[in-house]
Structure 1
Amino acid sequence: MSDSQLGQDSLNTLTSLQAGDQTFHYYSLPKAADTLGDLSRLPFSLKVLLENLLRNEDGSTVDRSHIDAMVQWLKHRTSDTEIQFRPARVLMQDFTGVPGVVDLAAMREAVKNAGKDPALINPLSPVDLVIDHSVMVDKFGNPSAFKDNVAIEMERNQERYEFLRWGQQAFDNFRVVPPGTGICHQVNLEYLGKTVWHKPVDGKTLAYPDTLVGTDSHTTMINGLGILGWGVGGIEAEAAMLGQPVSMLIPEVVGFKITGKLREGITATDLVLTVTEMLRKRGVVGKFVEFYGDGLKDMPVADRATIANMAPEYGATCGFFPVDEQTLTYMRLTGRDDAQLALVEAYAKAQGLWREPGHEPLYTDTLELDMGDVEASLAGPKRPQDRVALKNMKASFELLMETAEGPGEIREANLESEGGGTAVGAESAWFEHPSSQPLEMNGEQSRLDPGAVVIAAITSCTNTSNPSVMMAAGLIAKKAVARGLRTKPWVKTSLAPGSKVVTDYLAVAGLQDDLDKLGFHLVGYGCTTCIGNSGPLPDAVEKAITDGDLTVASVLSGNRNFEGRVHPLVKTNWLASPPLVVAYALAGNVRVDLDKEPLGSDRDGKPVYLKDLWPSQAEIAEAVEKVKTDMFRKEYGEVFEGDDIWKSIQVPESKVYEWSDKSTYIQHPPFFDGLQEQPEAIEDIRDANILALLGDSVTTDHISPAGSFKADSPAGQYLQNHGVEPKDFNSYGSRRGNHEVMMRGTFANVRIRNEMLDDVEGGFTRYIPTGEQMSIYDAAMKYQQQGTPLVVIAGKEYGTGSSRDWAAKGTRLLGVRAVVAESYERIHRSNLIGMGVMPLQFPEGSDRKSLKLTGEETISIEGLSGEIKPGQTFTMTVTYKDGSTATCELLSRIDTANEAEYFRHGGILHYVVRQMLQNA
């Protein structure tokens, strides 16, 4: 069905409504219910999917059976029916956006080489790319930090930004928000999101729910505004841009009932960490979570967005909040016009998408939280779901230290609190009973102790979009400055909001000056510390950590704290609210019990406790009142403009990109080299070597790190061979347009542990033919030269974390044919298929340990050469070093017919190019 044509509408649901002075047509759910039966208790998120099916019914990708399956869901609360979802738009950030545009440019090249018009490759859906992942905290703690960091960012990323400027003029339906503007999710929430979309179709103005997919897992933040969207890999997003539907099974929907109110002194961050812990324990991977209950009545959109943002951390596809008065209040505050507000209200009420008091949809499963039970919390040391009550932080960290027994052994340290918070997952390789180290900073003598907070970062879309917690941080700073408190000298402080509006309201409230006095100067508008762009620590601090092998800490208001992500030398990382970030910067160590011990002493030598500084809800509310609509209209009135440096970037006006062999940022990827009109036959895997043998919770950060890398790493050596000095390496994330860097960085996280090696951290493996230890990249290249296929073996939750397409692309380029794991996170499983890598799953009761795998075995997998279908089983034969064998039946995690077709073509992008060439 063409984007400019109405659907088949076999149920005759097309009707109209009046909103303001305009008439809109829409596909009516109540009219569909006349034929299908009562739909009123269908979850709101599934109502959005049902409308999507009604509107896009074409008799092939969407037919009546798909619509009926949504109704059957109400009877069984689950479904095995595959549907095709067509989002209204696509959101990208630059780390994933650059390789996405590189792929589009390479596809244009492939189409040109096939003798067709390269303009065939063009986004069909609106795409917004926000440059927000590239600013690093190189400079901090001074008034010029923002200006200096932006200048460094522009210099480092000149090639990337030239490329994006080229894409902006080369592709239709493609807008770029320049650097130094904001974080994509906050820009989406405050400006891009419409809640109800509309466009002209067949002479009518068609209204429909605003939906999207994004190339960042925290796309789910927009669910707080009643907009259904979630993160997908860049590969899947590119296909969606090019008109391919998102293939999915009708999901199970878990209802999360919210009642009560937060107590005095408890923040939205404390609430979300509690929700995250509860949902992770319940198990919601691959499911929708939908929030309901009368506790939503007074929950502002900013709090909802904080909860929705962390859906990847609790494992759900999305965390959806329905439309109600709070939605309109937020849209009005953020400057959406009256016509849009009228449309949202009229449409939501007409469609049964408006939350009414007491309404409880039917859900697959439910759980409930009285917000009055939430307590002050952090999460860490390395997983967002491992909540620790604030009152237990000191004891929790000390237990981690005490339970360290020696490198290589993995234990869990559990500290149950009265509120249920635990500290989980200490790994002993971190902790070897280090002692404190002498430290001189700015002429001041002190000591750096275990537990020292060396990074305190107010950062990330999760919390900087929420005025209540940002104002709370500013109020604590104001009271601390009034009492004469100072940040400890070893703490690297930073403030990196998600939009310029934040600095506007902090300034108007008179709080920015006090944050500055504690070192929380503006360092940039971007993800910074949360994505691993924390920048270098002061030399003296790095030396003290290294000399004493100290276990130190970061405290950040982010959503991610995986191993090796924030900073290579910082082994424990704690998620916290912005006011707690300020408090820990004052305390200087996570071993200070903020519940009972002072943060420091005032000018008179009297102890100052956290309770002395913590603002009341009335104080916070008074500050939040200073957030005005004019601030949003001012900042977003020129959101696509950029500064003079951005405007001055000159690019050729060509439809096909002019690749440069000299570039170390942008290279023509090899994915479409030698593309044939028909895909090659898939062969069984015979006598493959194991490239890596991995444990549980291997994240996409482990597989494809985003942060800095060392000079002696394969990626570092490549860049130096191409004339790039280590000081100019930038980050893996910024180099994603160059496959040569990224394949060398695959499985190169400094904290990854390959069980083929003893007591070794980092991206290394054993090259089996000689028994040598070498980098995973070097071993993979040797295997490729010999024509040896490779597999990766892993434990539970493989691919947890960010929607990182290079975790799949790099795996493919290293020559890995299949990954065999105990379970997968949703996005990475999809990305592996999207790159032609088979995701296989061990049956219950079988794993790498039961098979006694050491990495010296060879692996054969039979059945791939037949017809690929969803849900197949394949036979894996393990041949041991002594010649003995074992077999195991593996479940294919190709879950849908579309995924099977993509895999048959060697990947989703290969499928799209072939389709376009055939239809040209």
Structure 2
Amino acid sequence: MTGLNVARKLIESHLVKGNMAPQSVIELKIDQVLSEDATGTLVMLELEALGARQVKAEICAQYVDHNVLRADHKNGDDHVFLQSSCRNYGIWYSRPGNGISHPVHMACFGIPGKTLLGGDSHSCAAGSLGMLGIGAGGIEVALAMMGFPLSLVMPTILGVRLEGELQPWVSAKDVILELVRRYTLRGCWNKIVEYHGPGLANLTAMDRHVIANMGQEMGAVTSVFPADDQVRLFLRQQSRENDFVELLADKDATYDEVATLDLSKIEPMIACPSRPDKVVKVREVEGRPVSQSYIGSSANPGLRDFSIPARMVNGLFVPHEISLDINPASRQLLHELTHNGDLEKLLGAGAYLHETGCGGCIGMGQAPASGHNSLRTVPRNFPGRSGTKEDSVYLCSPETATASALKGKITDPRNLDMDYPVFEEPEHLMDMRSLLEPPQEIPVKVEVRKGPNIKPLPVLEKMLSVIEGPALLKLEDNVSTDDIIPGGADALPYWSNVPELSRFAFSNVDESFYQRALSTKEDIFLIAGNSLGHGASREHASITLRYLGVRCVIAKSVAGLYRKNLIDHGILILTFCNPSDFDAFSKDDQLQFYDLSSCTGGNKILELRNVTKGIKIWLENDLSQEEIEIIKFGGRINYIKGLLRRSLEDMGSF
């Protein structure tokens, strides 16, 4: 028997049910749970709907990092609601200004060998510390907080062997951009990417965070690194060296798939508008004009990601027509930049300092001017995500963003007339844990305070045996969750109010969708191409559709996270047996799907009638029996409550 890789060790040590054979359904114990404010309000409402009392996972933490802009009462009300909910359920609370969930959680609670489920798709960044970090929708997060295991299909493990050493002016962002170029948005669906090999020796824990964070942009379930000396140094820096546990792949470990990446051959890379996988070498687009360079976000949250730019601009000045936006990832980082003098260098060069949080990454401020190019170190550049509808956003490293800001045009940083700045990680950083509000040792019932914008979860009815109605939208390939429910300063304040938020559904795709859905008294179908729902884990992209009457999604393929969220909110998902049948549909075709009772885990091929065209289409059902039951119940909350009710009835307690 061959040895185990790190991913399999993590899975094996948390396996509650099933076996590690590829495509088998497994259940995993979840040690830590993370939510942020944009998704966390629904998590708290779901805990309430499920009848939760106190959370049971080892660590549950709620961060306020997305909706920090207080233009009116809505976001402030959300913060009060979240804080009172945390006190009520026994959850750590991180107030506005502490920073972005992923790096703050890494600094405060990251422990090698643990599992983490997060209500944000970039929770996979926890893999940088030898953890198994997975992003999920709010219902999955609420259930994990309550102690329920996570169910998923056993992923295949892609082992990426890193060799060589990065050259000057090339950093971790260039590594992950090169991999996204190779694998595209779909290349790692249902895979865990595990990094190993001699090239790891010079990649710090925060370098690894950059790489693990954007594994989501390849569609990976998560990314995993070993817990080695670099992880020990990081935990020592956070005054938590006692939490270090070595976790390495066995010497004879094998992988389901293998790849090799020579770090010494990587050049500065850049993703062109408007997808993270449209990656080219910086020198191929050099010279294009730039009006904004943005440094920060969860994708580049390390101290070196700000200190290197500070030392690049030291004694220089950014041209007046260029905005160099600095978005610190945490209060800890801002403290150190102030202490070591790097913040002074940035401000002296004309940089524009923003508050700690997700900011421009989620479109909450820092929107670029229309018709102008913006270079950003963020993980995504989907159309309109920046807050500017017709935006032109490039993704790149801090080095490339800074060089381009200095020159006013896209610039390969290797072409600057300066030496690569020297940077060394400090031995210790400010302890962030003292800035978070801990759960009370003795649980006390607390009044949960809900402002006028916080509305109860919609009640979802059970699925009927017959679905019939119009195909209200026909969507092409690569429609992201950003396209379904946008972020930004207009929509984000309503993420705790599903009826109001539903007004934004597909607003960037078809502005008439909301009104047409309201006026439709029948069931609504959606027809889609490949990669429907890739990107963010926001369950709002499913619950709003279900609220508006969507009952069935028929697609060429659906991204894994979005697939789970659709099921959790009672929406039937079917795929084309023959993908070319997609062309047989038009918007507003009248469709009929009969005999839902025949939709079982064993019945894979089902019939759909296109009444308008007078044809039958064959669809494939890859749902498990449990997933079908969840859909029939009208969603996972109804399903879980039904199970609990039956359990109490069996015990004679109901």
- TM-score grouping bracket, smaller chain normalisation: over 0.9
- 2:652 alignment partner in structure 1: none
1:156 and 1:514 map into 2 onto residues whose CA distance is 36
SS for the counterpart of 1:899 is helix
Deviation at 1:683, TM superposition (A): 1.2
Match of 1:889 among 599, 603, 618: 618
Structure 2 letter corresponding to 1:273: L
- 1:734 alignment partner in structure 2: 493
Which is further off, 152-161 or 123-132?
Answer: 152-161
RMSD of aligned Cα (Å): 2.5
Tell me, yes or no, if the aligned pair for 1:224 and 1:301 is still in contact at 8 Å: yes
Q: What are the residue-to-residue correspondences of 1:507-586 with 2, within 5 Å?
A: 507-535=338-366, 545=370, 551-586=371-406
Match of 1:471 among 284, 296, 307: 307
| CA displacement, residues 185-221 of structure 1 (integer Å, 9 cap, x when unaligned) | 00121111122xxxxxxxxxxxxx3101101010011
Structure 2 letter corresponding to 1:518: A
Structure 2 letter corresponding to 1:744: R
- 2:651 alignment partner in structure 1: none
1:576 and 1:595 map into 2 onto residues whose CA distance is 11
1:834 and 1:800 map into 2 onto residues whose CA distance is 17
- Structure 1 gaps, min length 5: 1-37, 57-61, 74-78, 109-119, 137-151, 196-208, 346-352, 398-450, 546-550, 597-608, 642-652, 709-730, 753-762, 765-774
Structure 2 letter corresponding to 1:460: S
- Residues 1:354 and 2:248 are matched in the alignment: yes
- Residues 1:83 and 2:18 are matched in the alignment: no
Q: What are the residue-to-residue correspondences of 1:650-669 with 2, within 5 Å?
A: 657=448, 663=452, 665-669=453-457
2:120 and 2:134 map into 1 onto residues whose CA distance is 8
- 2:473 alignment partner in structure 1: 692
Taking only the aligned residue pairs, the percentage that are identical comes to 26
| CA displacement, residues 150-192 of structure 1 (integer Å, 9 cap, x when unaligned) | xx469652211121122022213x1211110010000121111
Deviation at 1:535, TM superposition (A): 4.4
SS for the counterpart of 1:327 is helix
- 1:488 alignment partner in structure 2: 320
2:629 and 2:352 map into 1 onto residues whose CA distance is 51
Match of 1:184 among 61, 81, 101: 101
Deviation at 1:668, TM superposition (A): 1.7
SS for the counterpart of 1:671 is coil
- 2:606 alignment partner in structure 1: 874
- 2:417 alignment partner in structure 1: 612
Distance 1:282 1:90, change over 3 A: closer
| CA displacement, residues 769-809 of structure 1 (integer Å, 9 cap, x when unaligned) | xxxxxx2111111113xxx1110111110001000100010
- 2:554 alignment partner in structure 1: 820
Tell me, yes or no, if the aligned pair for 1:239 and 1:908 is still in contact at 8 Å: no
Tell me, yes or no, if the aligned pair for 1:288 and 1:316 is still in contact at 8 Å: yes
1:700 and 1:876 map into 2 onto residues whose CA distance is 26
Q: What are the residue-to-residue correspondences of 1:448-467 with 2, within 5 Å?
A: 451-453=289-291, 455-465=292-302, 467=303
Tell me, yes or no, if the aligned pair for 1:795 and 1:847 is still in contact at 8 Å: no
SS for the counterpart of 1:91 is strand
Distance 1:181 1:696, change over 3 A: same
| CA displacement, residues 6-26 of structure 1 (integer Å, 9 cap, x when unaligned) | xxxxxxxxxxxxxxxxxxxxx
TM-score normalised by structure 1 residue count: 0.67
| CA displacement, residues 421-445 of structure 1 (integer Å, 9 cap, x when unaligned) | xxxxxxxxxxxxxxxxxxxxxxxxx
- 2:639 alignment partner in structure 1: 911
2:273 and 2:78 map into 1 onto residues whose CA distance is 34
- Residues 1:94 and 2:37 are matched in the alignment: yes
Deviation at 1:610, TM superposition (A): 4.8
Match of 1:363 among 226, 241, 255: 255
1:742 and 1:39 map into 2 onto residues whose CA distance is 51
Tell me, yes or no, if the aligned pair for 1:170 and 1:654 is still in contact at 8 Å: yes
Structure 2 letter corresponding to 1:488: H
Distance 1:898 1:87, change over 3 A: farther
1:371 and 1:582 map into 2 onto residues whose CA distance is 22
Structure 1 letter corresponding to 2:356: Y
- 1:43 alignment partner in structure 2: 5
Structure 2 letter corresponding to 1:637: S
2:97 and 2:446 map into 1 onto residues whose CA distance is 27
Look at both structures and tell me which one has the larger radius of gyration over its CA atoms: 1
Which is further off, 211-220 or 492-501?
Answer: 492-501
Which is further off, 825-834 or 292-301?
Answer: 292-301
Deviation at 1:281, TM superposition (A): 7.8
- 1:76 alignment partner in structure 2: none
2:153 and 2:269 map into 1 onto residues whose CA distance is 35
SS for the counterpart of 1:219 is helix
Deviation at 1:225, TM superposition (A): 0.4
Structure 2 letter corresponding to 1:476: M
Q: What are the residue-to-residue correspondences of 1:805-816 with 2, within 5 Å?
A: 805-816=539-550
Structure 2 letter corresponding to 1:213: L
Distance 1:50 1:486, change over 3 A: closer
Q: What are the residue-to-residue correspondences of 1:130-529 with 2, within 5 Å?
A: 130-136=63-69, 152=70, 157-172=75-90, 174-195=91-112, 209-280=113-184, 283-338=187-242, 340-341=243-244, 344-345=245-246, 353-355=247-249, 359=251, 361-394=253-286, 451-453=289-291, 455-465=292-302, 467-479=303-315, 481=316, 485-489=317-321, 491-529=322-360
- 2:458 alignment partner in structure 1: 670
- 2:441 alignment partner in structure 1: none
Tell me, yes or no, if the aligned pair for 1:836 and 1:903 is still in contact at 8 Å: yes
1:795 and 1:477 map into 2 onto residues whose CA distance is 45
1:867 and 1:845 map into 2 onto residues whose CA distance is 20
Distance 1:88 1:870, change over 3 A: farther
1:153 and 1:186 map into 2 onto residues whose CA distance is 26
Deviation at 1:452, TM superposition (A): 4.3
Match of 1:128 among 48, 54, 61: 61
1:799 and 1:317 map into 2 onto residues whose CA distance is 14
Distance 1:897 1:362, change over 3 A: farther
Aligned residues: 643
Structure 2 letter corresponding to 1:189: M
SS for the counterpart of 1:632 is coil
Distance 1:300 1:229, change over 3 A: same
- 2:485 alignment partner in structure 1: 704
| CA displacement, residues 630-672 of structure 1 (integer Å, 9 cap, x when unaligned) | x232x4333338xxxxxxxxxxx86675766xx1x20122226
Which is further off, 857-866 or 693-702?
Answer: 857-866
Tell me, yes or no, if the aligned pair for 1:220 and 1:229 is still in contact at 8 Å: yes
Tell me, yes or no, if the aligned pair for 1:692 and 1:855 is still in contact at 8 Å: yes
Deviation at 1:498, TM superposition (A): 1.4
1:282 and 1:859 map into 2 onto residues whose CA distance is 29
Deviation at 1:83, TM superposition (A): 1.1
SS for the counterpart of 2:598 is coil
Deviation at 1:474, TM superposition (A): 0.8
1:736 and 1:337 map into 2 onto residues whose CA distance is 38
Distance 1:159 1:221, change over 3 A: same
| CA displacement, residues 119-178 of structure 1 (integer Å, 9 cap, x when unaligned) | x45422232111111234xxxxxxxxxxxxxxx469652211121122022213x12111
- 1:628 alignment partner in structure 2: 427
Deviation at 1:297, TM superposition (A): 2.4
Tell me, yes or no, if the aligned pair for 2:25 and 2:152 is still in contact at 8 Å: yes
Tell me, yes or no, if the aligned pair for 2:93 and 2:436 is still in contact at 8 Å: no
- Residues 1:682 and 2:464 are matched in the alignment: yes
Q: What are the residue-to-residue correspondences of 1:826-841 with 2, within 5 Å?
A: 826-841=560-575
Distance 1:654 1:189, change over 3 A: closer
1:519 and 1:815 map into 2 onto residues whose CA distance is 50
1:297 and 1:104 map into 2 onto residues whose CA distance is 42
- Structure 2 gaps, min length 5: 439-443, 649-654
Distance 1:183 1:913, change over 3 A: same
Structure 2 letter corresponding to 1:776: F
1:486 and 1:493 map into 2 onto residues whose CA distance is 7
